[in-house]
Structure 1
């Protein structure tokens, strides 16, 4: 049972990547069929350009995940490298979200029309929000390490009472009610 975890990761990555490729292929073929057969009158070069332009981030992410996640095997069939964990948090998770959202936009655009591509505007808004909250969290964390936090916490750390404790003492302390 040598490398059991690596073999499990390789099998899981292979399954996930194959499923992602099939969904992507099906979604894009569905878009093209709907545009060519059902919505033939509204099919224009602009539609095709929008599809290529706005689907390309998902294709890039899909091929990147393929590159880092696909396991490699030696010529004798032994596992050489299991690939990166495709269920990792952080950037990998964001890449999957980007791919899922792009697939949703493609499906909506295939059924509704070119106006559905405006749904894709959520991605930069979400990215900006995530970056801003991360930076703010880092700033708070760094301020806490440097001793530049709130005045209340500094006062409480220095042995003084916080504002809340002072208010409680002013009111006669904390009262407990028994039933």
Structure 2
């Protein structure tokens, strides 16, 4: 049972990357099939350029995930590297949001037409919103929702001592 966490991470990464690869192939092939059937192969230069430009971030993120998170095995099947954790918080989580939102946008474009590419503008708008709220939170000293600064919370021991009326200890 040596390196159980590493093996678990490798199995989880492999499963998630395979699922994402199959979903990407399905969504993109569905786009090409529906655009060919519904619109009788009327691909214009504009629609092709929009498809390439706005699906490129999703494909780049997927390539990045493949490079960083796909487990590496030796020829005899031993695990060399488990890869980065695909369930990490922060930037990885945001990149998954971009991938899944792009899937939805590609589907809507395939069904309804090129006007649905405007749905993709939600991603940069959300990025600006998240950056702004983070900036104002840091600038404001981490206030609550009403804008009132939060005082430093005392430990349970300090709260008990203050309740009893004990004097605070002065450190030198």
Bucket of the pairwise TM-score, normalised by the shorter protein? 0.7 to 0.9
Deviation at 1:42, TM superposition (A): 4.2
- Structure 1, residues 20-64: CA drift from partner, whole Å, max 9, x if none? 011111100100111112212643121111111110000000001
Please give the residue correspondences for 1:16-95 in structure 2 after superposition, counting only pairs within 5 Å.
Answer: 16-40=16-40, 42-95=42-95
Which residue is equivalent to 1:122?
A: 122
Give unpaired runs (5+ residues) of structure 1.
Answer: 144-148, 154-179
When residues 77 and 42 of structure 1 are mapped into structure 2, their CA distance, relative to the original with a 3 A threshold, is same
Equivalences for 1:134-145 in 2 at 5 Å?
A: 134-141=134-141
Structure 1 residues 44 and 4 mapped into 2: Cα distance closer, same or farther (>3 Å)?
A: same
Partner Cα separation in structure 2 for residue 93 and residue 70 of structure 1: 17
1:98-117 Cα offsets, whole Å, 9 max, x none, are: 00011100000000000000
Q: What is the CA–CA distance in structure 1 between the aligned matches of 2:141 and 2:67, rounded to whole Å?
A: 35
Larger Rg: 1
Change (3 A) 1:41 1:10: closer
Task: Tell me the TM-score normalised to structure 2 length.
Answer: 0.80
Q: For residue 161 of structure 1, what is the aligned residue in structure 2?
A: none
Runs of 4+ in 1 over 6 A off after TM superposition: none
* Structure 2 residue ranges without an equivalent (≥5): 152-172
Tell me how many residue pairs correspond in the alignment: 148
Alpha-carbon distance in 2 for matches of 1:127, 1:74: 40
Determine helix, strand or coil for the equivalent of 2:7: helix
Q: TM-score normalised to the size of structure 1? A: 0.77
User: Residue 134 of structure 1: CA displacement?
Assistant: 1.4
* Kept after mapping to 1: 8 A contact 2:36/2:42: no
8 Å CA contact 2:13–2:86 kept in 1: the answer is yes
State the alpha-carbon separation in 2 of the partners of residues 45 and 31 from structure 1.
16
